[in-house]
Amino acid sequence: MKTREGVAWQAQVERLELEGWEVACRRVWLVEARRGTHIEQAFAPTREVALGEVCQMTLLDGVEGCP
């Protein structure tokens, strides 16, 4: 991709590859759940998987717990 934006991200990819990273860019679903100042986020190839991960995190963090 040789668009103006594409050149910028391609340069970043090239820099990472020079440092030994193998870089893959793909589109994903980002699911975000907010309650007050609390945010849970997950991203995954499908909306269902991302939503499922957010659900798990809200379950794990439903209460603050006792010290």
Partner 1 sequence: MAFATATRARYATELDGIRAAGLFKEERVIHAPQGADIEVEFPAGSPPRPVINFCANNYLGLSSHPDVIAAAHEGLDHRGYGMSSVRFICGTQDIHRELERRLSVFLGMEDTLLFPSCMDANAGVFEALLNDQDVMIADRLVHASIVDGMRLCRAQQDSFKHADMAHLEEKLQEHADKRIRLVVTDGVFSMDGDIARLDEIVELAERYDAMVLVDESHATGFIGATGRGTHEHCGVMGRVDLITTTLGKALGGASGGCVSGRRELVELCRQRARPYLFSNTVAPVIVAGALKVLELLCGSTERRDVLAENARAWRQRLTEAGFVLKAGESPIVPVMLYHAKLAQDFARDLFAEGIYVVGFFFPVVPKGLARIRTQLSAAHQPHHLDRGIEAFVKVGRKYDILGRSREEIVAKYGP
Q: Within 29-58, which residues bind partner 1 (CB under 8 A)?
A: 53, 56-57
C-beta separation of 43 from 26 below 8 A: no
Pairwise CA distance, residues 31 & 29, whole Å: 6
Least distance CB 63 / partner 1 (angstroms) = 6
Q: Which helix (H) or strand (E) holds 15?
A: helix 4-18
Q: Which two tokens stand for residue 53?
A: 């991960």
Closer residue to partner 1, CB minimum distance, 18 or 59: 59
Nearer to partner 1, 3 or 37 (CB): 37
**What does the binding site for partner 1 look like in residue numbers (CB under 8 A)?**
53, 56-57, 59-67
